[in-house]
Amino acid sequence: MELCDLTLHEIKDLFVKKEVLPSMVLASVVRRIREVEESLGAYLALDLEAAFAAAQAADGRIKEGKALGVLDGIPVAIKDNLCQAGKETTCASRILQGFVPPYTATAVQKLLDQGALILGRTNMDEFAMGSSTENSAVKPTRNPWDPRWVPGGSSGGSAVAVAAGEAIAALGSDTGGSIRQPAAFCGVTGLKPTYGLVSRYGLVAFASSFDQIGPITKDAEDCALLLSAIAGFDPLDSTSVQGEAVDYTKDLERELTGRTLGLPREYFGEGLDDEVRRIIMAAVAQLEELGARIVELSLKLTEYALPVYYLISSAEASSNLARYDGIRYGRAVAGREDLATYYTRTRSEGFGPEVKRRIMLGTYALSAGYYEAYYQKAQQVRTLICREFEEAFRAVDAIVTPTSPTLPFRAGERLTDPLAMYLSDVCTVPVNIAGLPALSVPCGFAQGAPVGMQIIGRPFAEAAILQIAHQYQKVTAFHRARPYGAGRGGQDGL
C-alpha cells in the first residue's frame, strides 16, 4: 500500500519510529494527485511549493527528535470556503474570483499551528449549495469509485481527495449534510460537530445558524485526532462555545457494552433504497454483537425537516449573499450604468443557477406578507424538532440511521430536478436543524458503491459517537477499502 493510502495515525506512528519522513508522505500524495486529479477534479488550487517547504521543516524536527504537533507533517486539504491569508478563496463561484482574504480561518490556522501541510483548496458546490459537487462554477468533481457517479456535496472535493489518496485528511463544512453525504458516497469517515464546537471565523457563510466546519478522514481515529486539533472556543466567533479542551481519542477503546442505540422508524421507511437498508441493518447487527443495546424509537417530525431546512437556510443565504455586489470585492461587471442595473448584472453573471434559486426562495420567505407563513413557521417547527431530539436522547446514547437514502447517483441525473437533489439530504438535515453532532461511517458496498451509516449524538457528545464508530471499525474493514491500488479488494468488510 502506498503511503498516501495510510491513515493519519498510521503515518504518525511511522514518524515516531523515524521510518518515514513527511517529505516522503507528501511525495506519495503528490504522485497520486498527478495520476488521478485530471479525471477526478478534487482540487480548485494546489499550493505544493509551500507544502514541500513545510515538509522539509517537519523532516528536520523529526531528525532532531523534537516534539511533534498533532498534525506535524500531515498533508491536509481544505475546502474552498475556508479563508487563508494570501490564498484566493472563491467558494467555487465566479462572483468571488480574484478574492484574496487578508486573514486566515481559525480552523485552518489551528492546522498550521499543529504543523499540517496545506496542499490546496478543494472543489465544492458553489457557496456550499448542493449535494453533488456539480454546482461548482469551475468544474464538476467525480467519484473515485466510479467517475460516472457524483461524489456527493457540497464538500465533494475534500471527500474525493481523502478517498483517492490525494490528501491524508481534509476539512469540509456541513450546513445540511455537506460533510457526511460525500463521506458516505466516497467511502470515508466524515464528522459534523456540534454547532459552536469549531470556530466559524473565516468560513464564508451560507446559512449561519447551520454551518459547521468538520474533518473528513479515512477512519474514526483520524477524525478524533483532527477534531481535537480544530475544536475549541474562539473569541472571534460569537457562536463559539466556551469549554475545556478535549482529547477525542481518549475513550476510543471503550467497549460498547452499556450503550443504547436508537433506530428511528422514520429513517427506514419509504424512499430508502433496499440495498442501503440491508447494509445498514447488517451494521446495526454488528453493533449489537459488540454489546450495544438496540431500541426502536420514533422521530415523528422528521418529515418536516427538509422544508424547514430549505426555508430557513435559504432565508439566511439570501441575507448573507447580499454582500456580494461587485463593489467591495470579487467580480465586477464593466460599465457605469445606474446602481440597480450594476447590481443586477454583477449578481446575474456571478451567481450560478442553484445559488440564484436559493436566494430567490429565501427572499420570498422573508418578504412582507409571507414572513409569518413561511420563515416564522419554519423556526417554530425547528424548535419542536430540537425538543423531539432532546426527548429521544433521554432514552438512548446515540441514534443510528442511513447517511443517504440512496447509493451515489449518476452525474447529471438530478441537475434538472432540484427536489430530487434536495431529497439526498433527507437523513442529514435534521442534525443541522438541531445543532447536533453526527458522523458518517463506511459500512458496506452495493453495486460497487460505498454506503455510509450515520451516528447521531446529543450535543457535545462527539467522544461518544467517535467511540461507537471506532469500535465498529475495529471489527470491519470497509473503511480500509481504497478506490486505487492496494485495498480495493477489501469490500467484504469483515
The pLDDT of residue 332 = 81
Residue 121: helix, strand or coil by DSSP?
strand
Distance separating alpha carbons of residues 233 and 245, to the nearest angstrom? 9
Number of folded domains in the chain? 1
Residue 362 located in a structural domain? no
Distance separating alpha carbons of residues 127 and 330, to the nearest angstrom? 14
Residue 401 located in a structural domain? yes
Residue located via cell numbers 406578507: 369
Residue 166 located in a structural domain? yes
Radius of gyration in angstroms for the set of CA atoms belonging to the chain, rounded to a whole number: 21
Q: Which of 93, 132, 136, 154 is catalytic?
A: 154
The pLDDT of residue 334 = 79
With 70 as the cut, is the pLDDT of residue 49 above it?
Answer: yes
Q: Determine the average pLDDT of the residues in 352-362.
A: 97
Q: Which of 93, 155, 158, 178 is catalytic?
A: 178
The pLDDT of residue 340 = 87
Residue 193 located in a structural domain? yes
DSSP code per residue over 139-175: -----TT-TTB---SSSHHHHHHHHTTS-SEEEEEES
For Cα atoms 317, 319, 321, give the angle at the middle one, nearest 5 degrees.
65
Question: Domain range for residue 437?
Answer: 3-265+280-297+390-492
The pLDDT of residue 331 = 81
Residue 314 located in a structural domain? no
Residue 486 banded pLDDT, cuts 50, 70, 90: very low
- Residue 327 CB partners (closer than 8 Å, separation 6+): none
Residue in 267, 265, 272, 305 with CA at minimum distance from that of residue 407: 272
Residue 493 banded pLDDT, cuts 50, 70, 90: very low
Active site residue 154: yes
Residue 275 located in a structural domain? no
With 50 as the cut, is the pLDDT of residue 63 above it?
Answer: yes
Residue-averaged pLDDT of the chain: 95
Residue in 466, 28, 398, 94 with CA at minimum distance from that of residue 250: 466
Residue 7 located in a structural domain? yes
Active site residue 79: yes
Active site residue 356: no
- Residue 356 C-alpha cell reads as 440564484
Distance separating alpha carbons of residues 82 and 79, to the nearest angstrom? 6
With 90 as the cut, is the pLDDT of residue 285 above it?
Answer: yes
Contact between residue 211 and residue 175 where contact means Cβ atoms under 8 Å apart: yes
The pLDDT of residue 23 = 98
Run of H or E residues at 365: helix 353-366
With 60 as the cut, is the pLDDT of residue 412 above it?
Answer: yes
Task: Specify the CATH number for the domain of residue 42.
Answer: 3.90.1300.10
pLDDT in tens, 99-130: 999 999 999 999 999 999 999 999 999 999 99
Q: Which of 79, 110, 192, 218 is catalytic?
A: 79
Residue 59 located in a structural domain? yes
- Residue 66 CB partners (closer than 8 Å, separation 6+): none
Q: How many CB atoms sit inside 10 A of residue 307's CB? A: 15
* pTM (2 d.p.): 0.96
pLDDT in tens, 136-149: 999 999 999 999 99
- Residue 88 C-alpha cell reads as 484566493
Run of H or E residues at 274: helix 274-289
Q: How far is CA 477 from each of CA 4, 179, 471, rounded to the nearest angstrom?
A: 18, 21, 12
Q: Determine the average pLDDT of the residues in 300-328.
A: 95
Least confident window among 131-140, 269-278, 319-328, 346-355: 319-328
Contact between residue 149 and residue 168 where contact means Cβ atoms under 8 Å apart: no
Q: Is 292 exposed, middle or buried (0-12, 13-18, 19+ CB in 10 A)?
A: buried
Residue 490 banded pLDDT, cuts 50, 70, 90: very low
Alpha-helix runs per DSSP H in 301-338: 302-320
